[in-house]
Chains A and B, each alone.
Chain A
């Protein structure tokens, strides 16, 4: 069975500091990995996906199959980055539900 682990429930950093939200997964096949973000009082929305290899709002995430990780990084945190971040895995090429980690609450202090 697949599993997604986000070891930090809460991460607090100062504005301008680097941010890294950890995500590890277990899955026997080739996973598709995503980061979703939920800002206060807003719906869950896609932040980025590993196959796109894109940078969204300054965030990047690299899939490391050797370490089975998909950590989310941003070099300089901004206050508007404060939100809940969920790492998610999809096994079926879009035809299965997502397996989510339990989320990390990121707080950016001024």
Chain B
């Protein structure tokens, strides 16, 4: 298995533009998590899904952020409109606790820079 796959690896765009980050979880994992990593705040959970349903989005910073999981193999995190303070590394992770105490597996992250 290739693990959790995120795209793009890097994104540079101007403020005000829409940004879409993508994630493909490990096949068979029924939990998917989005995290944001910044120097100031470290790693923060934004939202997570179970069986494609959002369970907790309390970490989503503002209405400009939205996440979807249309099927078990794909999720998007969208920022519209983007702002410079959204610049961070965004990680996706997946897990399958139904098969025991499995740790979360992380993708390589998307490094987002908003100019």
Most buried by B among A32, A44, A103: A44
B73 beta carbon closer than 8 Å to chain A: no
A70 to chain B, nearest CB (A): 15
Select which of B31, B95, B97, B106 is within 8 A of A43 by beta carbon: B106
Chain B interface mostly: strand
CB-contacts of A11-44 with B (<8 A): 32, 34, 36, 43-44
Select which of B33, B103, B107 is within 8 A of A34 by beta carbon: B103
Most buried by B among A36, A51, A86, A94: A94
Contacts of A32 in B (CB 8 A): 101
Bound form: Cα–Cα A96–B95 in Å: 10
Do B45 and A98 have beta carbons less than 8 Å apart?
Answer: yes
Interface size of A by CB at 8 A reads 21
A-B contact count (CB 8 A): 55
Beta-carbon nearest neighbor of A47 in chain B: B103
A56 to chain B, nearest CB (A): 12
Beta-carbon nearest neighbor of A97 in chain B: B45
Interface residues of A (CB under 8 A from B): 32, 34, 36, 43-46, 49, 51, 86, 93-103
Interface residues of B (CB under 8 A from A): 3, 31, 33, 35, 41-45, 48, 50, 56, 59, 91, 93, 95, 97, 101-104, 106-109
